[in-house]
Amino acid sequence: MSNLSRRTLLKNTAGLAAASAVIGTPLIAQDRTLKIGSYGGYFENSFKEHVYPAFTEATGIAVESVTQPNSSDWLVTMQQATAAGSVPADLSLYARDTMIKASRLGGMLAKLDMSAIPAAEGLDSYFVFEDGTGPIGVGAMSWFTAMVINPDEVGPPASWAEFWDSEKYEASLGISKLYNSHFLDIVAATFFEGEATFATDEGIIALIEKAAELKPNVALWWSAESQMEQSMKNADVIGGLYYLDVSNLMAADGFPIQAVFPKEGNPQDYGSWCLSALSDKGAEAAEFINFSSDPAIQALMSRKIGTAPLLEQSKTDLTDEEFAFVSGTPSIKPAYEAYLDKETFMKEAWDKMLAGA
């Protein structure tokens, strides 16, 4: 998950004491363990430093951290491990599209006992994923891509539609080059019927044709976030689509960039905790998912890891400044199943549009 690498820039802002106080009095240590997979590098290290110790202190359950790559590759690893009869992790962190893939494969994920995860009731219901077997994934944390502008050049647009105004934005925007960067979800939310537009090939073509109308205003189709970062710093572009947390970090460092939540919102992606079907740690896993769903821990992850909470700000103790750094409203829910079911068609049509045909 490439966006997580940028979190090496995130700055620690708060302590752990408040969260531990909310969790409650530590229990007597028990011989209980849980193997938890998470994306490696800074992300995994942050969990090992800030989240797992608090969980162990609260429950007595020891955590063994398992490094997993992006969730798509991890799914292949877990699929092979499941077939071999032994998996490297009890809990894994899956993006929603990967969770859907795992569900369709069948036999990989265990149904979660939601009666043992009461804190999940406080999350937005969108983040509890169910398939035909029942609930198989509970959201862990989320992240946004966002509209950004150079506030020295233009005022905050009220709608994404303003980016199509060539009198204001001709050859001045930076948009992700990837077909699945959720820019099409923005187009769908702004000009069409949202996710429902992805239901047919005709709808997808209409989305791409609308995106093509923006081409005169795009100065940079970026494939690496460093390209967009440098272009905003150099004022080569005055707006576009970029990562919310990095945008706010750049602004804090004095660069001319402002993240905006227009009336349609910004795309929100997220990861979920999923239990391996081969794991015998269902009880321990439920305790961890319940722990991570606690508002105090959601706030802790926002402060320490830079992820957006999966519940309303009012349910956390995040200040307005802390919440705005990682989140905002409204959000655009990506058309995950369409990106899976029509992957080849969408990519070919998108690339053809970029090539100018």
269 and 156 Cβ atoms separated by less than 8 Å: no
What is the pLDDT of the chain when averaged over all its residues?
Answer: 91
| pLDDT above 90: residue 199 | yes
Domain ranges of the chain: 33-143+269-327, 144-267+333-355
| pLDDT above 90: residue 88 | yes
* Domain 33-143+269-327: top CATH class: alpha beta
Query: Residue 71: which pLDDT band, with cuts at 50, 70 and 90?
Result: confident
| pLDDT above 50: residue 5 | no
Q: What element of type H or E holds 279?
A: none
144-267+333-355, what's its fold? Answer: D-Maltodextrin-Binding Protein; domain 2 (3.40.190)
| pLDDT above 60: residue 147 | yes
DSSP 239-290: EEEEEHHHHHHHHHTT-S-EEE--TT-EEEEEEEEEEBTT-S-HHHHHHHHH
